[in-house]
A and B are shown apart, each in its own frame.
Chain A
Amino acid sequence: MLFIPHKHLYISGTSYVSADEPDYKEVITDANSRRRMGRLLKMAVWCGLKSLDGVPSEMVAGIITSTGAGFMKDTISFGSSIFDREETLLNPSPFMQSTFNTASGYIALIRKIHAYNTTYVQQADGFAASLVDAAMLLDDAGEGNVALVGAFDEVTPEVDAIRQRLGLYRVGDGFLPLGEGAAAFLLSAAMPTDVSESCRATESSTGLGGDDGSESDSWQSGDEAGSESASWPCDESGSESASEQDGDANSECSTGPLRESESASWPCDESGSESASEHGGEFGSKSSFCPLHEYGGTSSRSLNGTKDGNAALRFCGLANLSDLPKCAENSLAELFGINAGVNVISCADHVESLGAFRSLLPVLLCKLISEQQIPDGYTAIMDDVNEDGVIVLLHK
């Protein structure tokens, strides 16, 4: 489905967690809440609160989150306790937190936001529904209102082992590194200058996620700077990928990228779930799961709004990859009906640093915005990691 919003809608207040976890207590100030919250919930709520920093609660038209699989750790924890404790005297906390809308609810609870609140759970596609919903919400909302759009997903060792067995994230003969993270941003029909002003003040006073002086250096350095190009990053480790893919090597963190040759045909028609049986024997023997701290070069800091006179970033529309006219030279421009070239950023190009996961696109989007990596003009961010992925068109 092609969706183009009626109004000019701007993105601001991006927050994401994809590498080091931040110091949650700066943003989630209540110690009891922090203690009760699981790791993914903290990530998701941190992002939401960070994005809403400086925005009065009554200006929030809605809180919309999406997730592919939700709070897996809590789900598995409660599910296991049913067997372990033979259905008696179970701890209700993981059950309550296994509910998919826990993050959107917590953000509302902490900020006392009574507005529209919902959660989409549709693998990687929930983000598309969130954007459509947020745009429709802002059509009816008052002037200056914002909608919070967030996404989150986690990988646990159990999930990783099972995904391996199911053959998910298996591409050709190769493995994708799994990833996890959370992200949030604000969508608004108003130019985000006001929002960013207030947010920036809060940001510098809290100084989350690192030293204030480090922003331009540390988080644009390293492999990310090089991954702008369309080809697969990090060829240096590419030679190892063959053995990782086929054998039972116990690589704790097989971040090996796909081989160049596979990228051409991928991810079309790859139906991973069918390979469950052929993959059965390897269950538990190999992990492609990278916990957050394994990643370098990215940062959990957030940067709100436009910065230093940079043009505001506008959300222009979204479509599914399957909507894209094939083989046309400028098919993206054609799809969205614009008369300009479109710069393309592929999620697959960022799998090396972020891992592949259901909520990859929103996290990548927020990361790129925070790092000022969205070039001027039209940019399409393509979720080409997921089957029937989504294209988000932006304009700066």
Chain B
Amino acid sequence: MEVYVSGLGAICAAGTNVAECLESMRSGRSMLAPVRRFQTALGFPVGEVCLSDDELKEALDIDRQEVASRTALLGLKAVDEALTDFVSRSGKADGLKELRCAFLSGTSVGGMDLSEVFWQEHRDDLTGGDAKCLSMHTPGDVTSMMAHYLESRGVNIVFSTTISTACSAAGNAIMLGSKMLREGLCDVAIVGGTDSLCRFTMNGFNSLRILDPEICRPFDESRAGLNLGEGAGYLVLTADSEGAVCRLTGWGNANEAYHQTASSPEGIGPGLSMSAALEQAGLDPSDIGFVNTHGTGTQVNDLAESNAMLRVFDGAVPPFSSLKAYTGHTLAASEGIEAVLVCKSLELNDLSFMGSCGFSSPIPETGLVPFRGSCSYASKPRLRNVLSSAFGFSGNCVSLVFSDIIDTQSSKAL
């Protein structure tokens, strides 16, 4: 059974919807800048979404007084776009009530943005702080709030859950959705991830000393760490091909089993998840036309991922890039946002918005040079299959393969 991608929605530093993201990323300019929205002594560049919580609430028709984590608001903004896209593609405006929908969301931050607000007041005065701020603390609370919102808008949610495998969470949510669809447990799966920026993660990554004080430079010799970001990306998966963007053909999940937070230099886990996804898709490495990497810009990740690619592709690594300099590392949301962009590149047969920025010289150990975009891909051979990966703490690796819609006429032509 084929799994189709039939709706897309994304929000991140590069734009508040998919079209905006494509446009700003096509320009090749990073939007990362120091934190504006909350107080922190840390001056690292981040990928903040330009909309305030109130603006997000207004866009979603949520009362300003309602306590809602920014993680949920960003997520709903992207889900809303994905559902609108799905309705217009599939023509199933009323069908949403009839379809059994699974909502599978990845988040690692959960409602921490609000918990911090509570904690700050609570520390000075144990009776202080608005306890309502804690009502969305856990990732599951954020997903529940989002699910309730969707139900109130007529979506028939039969199952919702949260995956929290750190930075690979959205990838695992996408993978779970494809399995549940194939199993017949739902007709539609809304899958992806959301995370907001907060002091907790800023300080966490700073304590690990992997934040770059400059804008990150994935796969560059001079890379010095990652920049955090926030945002959300969701896909609507269906078994029905009507109006579909592309197909989800492969998925692989593997554990590095090497170190709690670091990758092995040879990229054992990334290699395993990439190979597993290719196998699931029934594709040879040479069938992959483009690779969207995790490419965080840390010393360790980019070397490990490069080595994994060299191994999986037996030295013939296809064009690849990292989008982190546009989005920042949006943690659990990253594979959601990037999967949306990958799907878009397949639909449009266009890689002009998929280029790495901030690159000047390759990692000496591997010599790999990322694709730098800013040219239309349309004249090149049709983009057929794209591999996209995300790797997280605790060795959680996930890779996905997206493929174009098979058009019998054009396959004959080839």
Would A122 and B140 count as touching, CB distance under 8 A? yes
Given A108-B257, A117-B255, A119-B164 in contact, is the A92-B204 Cβ separation under 8 Å? yes
Contacts of A161 in B (CB 8 A): 126
Interchain CB contact under 8 A, A87 and B165: no
**Count, chain B residues at interface, CB 8 A:** 62
**Given known A87-B40, A122-B143, contact A102–B260 (CB-CB < 8 A):** yes
**Neighbour of A79 across the interface among B119, B132, B143, B392, CB < 8 A:** B119
Q: In the assembled complex, which residues on chain B have CB atoms less than 8 Å from the CB atom of A82?
A: 199-200, 203
Asked if B8 CB lies within 8 Å of chain A CBs, one says no
In the complex, the answer to whether B40 meets A125 with C-beta atoms within 8 Å is no
- Tell me, yes or no, whether B116 is within 8 Å of chain A by CB: yes
Q: Which residues in B have their C-beta under 8 angstroms from that of A102?
A: 260, 393-394
Q: Which residues of B contact A96 (CB under 8 A)?
A: 204, 208, 260-261, 393
Q: Is the CB of A68 within 8 A of B260?
A: no
Q: How far is the CB of B301 from chain A (nearest CB, A)?
A: 16
Chain A CB within 8 A of B256 CB: yes
A283 touches B254 (CB 8 A): no
Q: Give Cα distance in the complex from A105 to B391, angstroms.
A: 12
Q: How large is the interface on A (under 10, 10 to 19, 20 to 34, 35 or more residues)?
A: 35 or more
Name the one of A100, A109, A118, A126 contacting B253, with C-beta atoms under 8 angstroms: A118
- Scan B131-164; emit 1 where CB is below 8 A from any A CB, else 0: 1101101111101100000000000001111111
B207, A92: Cβ atoms closer than 8 Å: yes
Query: Across the interface, which residues of B come within 8 angstroms of A129, CB to CB?
Result: 161, 176
Does the CB pair A105–B396 fall under 8 Å? yes
Q: Cβ of A283: which chain B residues have Cβ within 8 Å of it?
A: 126-127
The residue among A113, A118, A120 with the most chain B CB atoms within 10 A of its own CB is: A118
- For the complex formed, measure the closest distance between the CB of B393 and the CB atoms of chain A, giving whole angstroms: 5
Is A1 engaged at the interface, CB distance under 8 Å to the other chain?
yes
A1 lies within 8 A of B135 (CB): no
| A95 at the binding interface (Cβ < 8 Å) | yes
A59 to chain B, nearest CB (A): 15
Q: Is the CB of A99 within 8 A of B393?
A: yes
B115 an interface residue at 8 Å Cβ cutoff? yes
B143, B144, B206, B261: the one contacting A90 at CB < 8 Å is B206
Cβ of B389 within 8 Å of any chain A Cβ, yes or no, is no
Residue ranges of A at the interface with B (Cβ–Cβ < 8 Å): 1, 3, 63, 68-70, 78-80, 82-83, 86-88, 90-92, 95-96, 98-102, 104-106, 108-109, 111-123, 125-126, 128-129, 132-133, 136, 161-162, 165-166, 273, 276, 280-281, 283-284
Ranked 3 nearest A-B pairs via Cβ: A105-B394, A95-B204, A122-B140
